[in-house]
Copies of this chain bind each other. A is one copy, B any other.
């Protein structure tokens, strides 16, 4: 059976509608998700329960017939596997890390902590038909370092300060995170993921030299490590909030097959300048709003990406208050059934 998503991430330019999925498509806007989440007791409990994680992974495919499922997990599984304490309490809370010394370096020790993700991938893959792709993911080293250094905030202050004050020590942290992210993605590919996405959610606002050193270079290293183990691996990068020069460098340098773009990106420009498969970039607020705003935003994206190797997605995760009817309307708009 043909899988449109895998064709497009391999470079195909279908004449019909693009493949479609949504970041955070398994989540709080769905009543069936909230039900399973309540059963699991806690967010981390849900991530750590392979059966329930696989179940919520498949829910949006059943409801919306999306072209890809993304495994239900969290980018902070890696800090947890490295032995760092992470508490979820209306968002993640991490104790600020001051040195790489406190982190676990032995992959054999990471594996049991991450194992529920691989088991969930196996269960989810078995529940998907061959025309649907299964996506694994991890946070990128810079974004994980932002959480580890200061708990995550919109200006990545603690991580930037660490990088300026102690570039050697900070690079050691980045290097360890490169190892862990690459290993986690390889294990996910072995467990049934057909594509992996690297989320650099805190890539915005960085000075160009920091972006090159802590976003582009580590991502390139991860892609090389994955390809050494899995030469045909399909990889999507998401350096959210990167500048246009940063996006051009990222796609030209890292070796990713695709790039996910946030809502600020001009898709006409992206089609012209970024020589990889594009993914994105509907404003999640336009999906909350629905109606004319949604129709016009979707129309603009479809027009700009006509004839390109393109996967329809949001520019950022779906928001909890999104009405389910608006998601159904989106599917119709993208697939031309409206």
What residues of chain A have their CB less than 8 Å away from a CB belonging to chain B?
A: 154-155, 157, 160-161, 164-165, 167, 204-209, 211, 241, 243-246, 262-266, 269, 283, 285-286, 288-289, 291, 293, 297, 300, 315-316, 319
* Inter-chain contact A264/B300, CB cutoff 8 Å: no
* Inter-chain contact A209/B300, CB cutoff 8 Å: yes
> Quick one: given A164-B286, A285-B157, A293-B165, are A245 and B243 in contact (CB under 8 Å)?
no
Contacts of A161 in B (CB 8 A): 285, 288-289
* Contact with A263, one of B154, B205, B262 (Cβ below 8 angstroms): B205
* Inter-chain contact B264/A208, CB cutoff 8 Å: yes
* Inter-chain contact A204/B157, CB cutoff 8 Å: no
* Inter-chain contact B157/A154, CB cutoff 8 Å: no
Q: Quote the shortest CB–CB distance from A301 to chain B (angstroms).
A: 10
Q: A316 vs B293: C-alpha distance in the bound complex, in angstroms?
A: 32
> Quick one: given A245-B244, A264-B243, A266-B243, are A160 and B205 in contact (CB under 8 Å)?
no
Contacts of A291 in B (CB 8 A): 165
Q: A157 vs B286: C-alpha distance in the bound complex, in angstroms?
A: 10
Q: A49 vs B163: C-alpha distance in the bound complex, in angstroms?
A: 41
27 contacts across the A-B interface (CB closer than 8 A): A154-B154, A155-B285, A157-B285, A157-B319, A160-B283, A161-B285, A161-B288, A164-B285, A164-B286, A164-B288, A204-B204, A204-B241, A205-B241, A205-B262, A206-B263, A206-B264, A207-B263, A207-B264, A207-B297, A208-B266, A241-B241, A243-B243, A243-B244, A243-B266, A244-B244, A245-B266, A245-B269
* Inter-chain contact B283/A207, CB cutoff 8 Å: yes
Can you list the 10 inter-chain pairs with the closest CB atoms, starting with the nearest?
A164-B289, A164-B293, A160-B285, A244-B244, A154-B154, A207-B263, A208-B266, A165-B289, A205-B264, A207-B283
Q: A160 vs B265: C-alpha distance in the bound complex, in angstroms?
A: 16
Q: A154 vs B157: C-alpha distance in the bound complex, in angstroms?
A: 15
Q: Quote the shortest CB–CB distance from A53 to chain B (angstroms).
A: 27
Chain B minimum-CB-distance residue to A300: B209
Contacts of A288 in B (CB 8 A): 161, 164
Q: A285 vs B161: C-alpha distance in the bound complex, in angstroms?
A: 6
Q: A266 vs B249: C-alpha distance in the bound complex, in angstroms?
A: 13
Q: A15 vs B311: C-alpha distance in the bound complex, in angstroms?
A: 51
Contacts of A243 in B (CB 8 A): 243-244, 264-266
Q: Quote the shortest CB–CB distance from A183 to chain B (angstroms).
A: 31
Contacts of A204 in B (CB 8 A): 204-205, 241, 264
Q: A103 vs B288: C-alpha distance in the bound complex, in angstroms?
A: 27
Chain B minimum-CB-distance residue to A287: B164
